[in-house]
Structure 1
Amino acid sequence: MAEIIPLRGWRYNQELSKNIQDLTSPLFDVVSIKQREALYQNPYNSIHLSVPPGENPAQEAAIRLQTWKTEGILKQDYLPGIYVYYQYFRLPGSEQEYCRKGFMCHIWTYDWADKVLLRHENTIPASVNDRTELLAATHMQVSPTHGLYTDPNFILEKYMDESIQAPLHESEDYQGVRDVVAVIQDVAVVREFMKVLQPKQILLADGHHRYEGSLQFRKRQTAANPYHTGKEAYNYHFIYLTNTEAHDLRILPTHRLLLRLPLTNAEFLKKIETYFTITALTDPYDLNEIIVGKKWAFGLYLRGVPYKIRLKPEVHHQMAWEIPDEVKDLDLTVLHYFVLEKILGISQEAQRNSDQIQYIRSFAECLARVDHQEAEVAFITNGVSMEQVKTVCYSGALMPQKSTFFYPKVISGLVFSSIKQNEFYLENITCF
């Protein structure tokens, strides 16, 4: 079902690669303004291609990319391969080191209706359009989308473990994560990767906007090409695949900020009380711990005052959204329906486009933004489990946008994927 193929990666030249940590960047949707401005100071940092500056950013990125190719800043590997990508990390409060194991390749850009690649979140249209235009201008993907496959037998890990002993790149990124990249170009082993993935469905973990941007681009190119065969480079997407059965797969919560609240504190709490029990707290730093493991419970930081709120079980059946029970049962669905729609009047569709709702991973940042009056309300949430992600994906339904934060994030700039036709295939290599 899932067609993957090796890729001929573009990478920074050997001299620049010695300081690869100075060239990589966070993903476009997590990089902060301060990070972005600092990274722009390096003329060769990958941020110039993933979040290009200027009045015409996509065209600026295309011009810069061509310059980098011409000057040898970026060079393409001669042989296609599977790029193994390991991320070694720790979580706050723990000394245990985890290692998320995965690999990068090309995957056919499936329509959602094909049910080969399954999504679990809604996307924000403006971000999809941004990614589509950038891809159309550059034909280059700077960072892979994160997908998940299920293999309880761990067939591919032995090949990845062997290859990672001879890394192409090794560095520490902005998250404090150690990133290690290697490549497998052995024909028999690459075929084994393709064989193992062939019967699988892929769950989209992270990068919904980048994937949908590729999907929109493929449809656009297909419609414009009267000789479309299905083998063109534009049919493929750059993906990083990890095994759902691995112990070191971690999902962190993504909290919600409301920039402006059109109610007084008293008015808002009165409306909240219709659906939730409210517990006043004294220390806002207890908000994330007091809700752990509690269903439909949230931390509420209202203009500097902390509360714990928890949905009254008897009102849950009032949820009127036409979605499967698996999705209705999620904490974030409860928050988006009862608070954002019922109390604040922001419809399900309007929530996707609202400039008043922001999605923040950092608990401390949420509190600070409210304290500095940059936002009026923070909703602190629990994380989503891997089993919940699987359940929702297989049901065909969608979670509210920004429901998951798979940690750590992949990094932009370690390997680049071209879907420019004359860079995609090496004609004298037919073994795949």
Structure 2
Amino acid sequence: MAQIAPFRGLRYNAEKIRDLNEVFIPPYDVISPEEQDLFHQTSPYNMVHLELGKAAPQDTAEENPHTRAARYLNTWQTERVLVREEIPCIYYYELEYSMSPDLRRIRYGFICALRLEDFDSGRVRPHERTFQNVKDERLQLMLSCHANLSPIFSLFGDAGGSVDAVLRDAREEFPVINFQDRHGMNHRVWRVSEPSALRRAAHLMEEKTIFIADGHHRYETSLNYRSIRRDQAGRTPTDRSHEYVMMYLTNMNDEGLTILPTHRMLRNLNGIETDAFLESARRFFRVDRFEAEGEGERRWVEALRKGAAEQRNVVGFCRKGDRFLYAFQADRKAVSGCLARMGIPRVMHRLDVVVLDQVILRGILGLSDAFLADERNIHFKHDLKEALESLRGGLYQAAFFINPTRIDQVEEVAGSGLIMPHKSTYFYPKVGSGLTIRLLDGEDGCI
């Protein structure tokens, strides 16, 4: 069962930090070097100093971005830039954002402490693979700061919305956080501390399975941190702060939940000719061709969208300098046969990202794991128009375009204990850093 608990969050003091835009940042793994520089310059109290500090040539094992983050975290508390809640609470969180000038959505969720579970328990399920070097770096930061600096983004099923209703009805009258970020998103956070509501929400969550949406590296890092702390204690404690992790939870049935596509932008494709590639692709796909401008581009986009609406595998393709756009309409029998020969479980066969990753990139183009893991060769974009402009501007040799993975597909794959390819999902908006911190000092009140 999923065990949630309130905790004594550490938050920015409104008397010290008037505008949370000065300190609030996206998750560390989507911050570009240019944004990292900008955030460092914005405020000496910006969360980037904790989450993604800059390395210096003279850094040592005793003085480095991780040790500096720990020092900043302690200093900011001493200066009362960060203040801790007097009593444990759960944070009810409304995030309002725009998908277009005419379409705004609100995603409802809450930030709590969740008892850590090993994946083999089936209570918490991942859907993407992780990389050891990232987990090693995050563990060093966690061992320095002894804190959850940002919440992991996860999902649970609740068709009736009962958990949300309990917390919404019990929230305090006024939000403790209310600001619009630099992207025009409105963040509103209320405390929920009424004991009966907390007990009711915890009871309702006991039957839920948790699906990690974003933050797989941080979750696995928290498991590793827990193991270290257990070893240090010489036993396996049940009620210690390292047994929990800070998590943002939202109902996967929430209409405000959005998954964006993740298009693949490729470089360093040596010796690949478009005609030969298209001929090979026709063994598995019907290849439709569209003019790359005006009405042709509009019809191409419509072909991709129609594939999503009809739940068919459709992959878009374009090469730099080509006057045509292509839509690969999957021959379901041929594609499924190819994936079966590759040893891919049947539940994965209907995912556009798997068809692209396995049949096209690895099968037809013969790209290796090492090639696809090298950031010099592949970049990812979520906006189709931006991706096309980058390709036409000569930044990439070729691009593949896919529809977003559906939430029911995430649930089905994760529920089967399987892992999707890297960058299979992009839950939007991501949950940023700067709303609350959870200290792992045994005094967070979550037990």
TM-score (norm 2): 0.88
Alignment of 1:250-399 (within 5 A): 250-266=258-274, 267-283=276-292, 286=298, 288-294=301-307, 295-305=312-322, 306-316=325-335, 317-319=337-339, 320-347=341-368, 351=372, 356-399=377-420
Instruction: Quote the residue 2:135 is aligned against.
Output: 128
Q: 2:116 aligns with which of 92, 104, 109?
A: 109
Give how far 1:123 is off: 2.1
Task: Kindly tell me the number of residue pairs found equivalent between the two proteins.
Answer: 425
**CA 1:396/1:227 → structure 2, altered by over 3 Å: closer, same or farther?**
closer
Whether the 8 Å contact between 1:104 and 1:238 is mirrored in structure 2 is: yes
2:109 is equivalent to residue 70 of structure 1: no
Which deviations, in whole Å up to 9, do the C-alpha atoms of 1:14-50 show, x marking residues without a partner? Answer: 2234311221001112223322221111211112112
Gaps of 5+ in 2: 57-63
Instruction: Quote the residue 1:217 is aligned against.
Output: 225
Per the alignment, in what secondary structure is the counterpart of residue 226 of structure 2?
A: helix
Gaps of 5+ in 1: 427-431
**CA 1:357/1:368 → structure 2, altered by over 3 Å: closer, same or farther?**
same
Give how far 1:182 is off: 0.9
**CA 1:378/1:124 → structure 2, altered by over 3 Å: closer, same or farther?**
farther
Give how far 1:348 is off: 5.5
Whether the 8 Å contact between 1:324 and 1:395 is mirrored in structure 2 is: no
Distance in structure 2 (CA, Å) of the matches to 1:225 and 1:328: 46
**CA 1:126/1:78 → structure 2, altered by over 3 Å: closer, same or farther?**
same
Give how far 1:57 is off: 2.2
**CA 1:388/1:379 → structure 2, altered by over 3 Å: closer, same or farther?**
same
Give how far 1:311 is off: 2.8
Distance in structure 2 (CA, Å) of the matches to 1:113 and 1:174: 40
Per the alignment, in what secondary structure is the counterpart of residue 424 of structure 1?
A: coil
Alignment of 1:75-90 (within 5 A): 75-90=83-98
**CA 1:392/1:379 → structure 2, altered by over 3 Å: closer, same or farther?**
same
Mean CA deviation greater in 202-211 or 223-232: 223-232
* C-alpha RMSD of matched pairs (Å): 2.3
Per the alignment, in what secondary structure is the counterpart of residue 180 of structure 1?
A: strand
Give how far 1:333 is off: 0.6
Instruction: Quote the residue 2:205 is aligned against.
Output: 197
Give how far 1:189 is off: 1.1
Give how far 1:270 is off: 4.1
Give how far 1:120 is off: 1.4
Give how far 1:8 is off: 0.7
User: Which letter maps to 2:44?
Assistant: P
Whether the 8 Å contact between 1:26 and 1:174 is mirrored in structure 2 is: no
Give how far 1:6 is off: 0.8
Give how far 1:245 is off: 2.1
Instruction: Quote the residue 1:7 is aligned against.
Output: 7
2:51 is equivalent to residue 50 of structure 1: yes
User: Which letter maps to 1:397?
Assistant: L
Whether the 8 Å contact between 1:17 and 1:169 is mirrored in structure 2 is: no
Whether the 8 Å contact between 1:124 and 1:353 is mirrored in structure 2 is: no
Instruction: Quote the residue 1:24 is aligned against.
Output: 24
User: Which letter maps to 1:418?
Assistant: L
Give how far 1:83 is off: 0.7
**CA 1:153/1:186 → structure 2, altered by over 3 Å: closer, same or farther?**
same
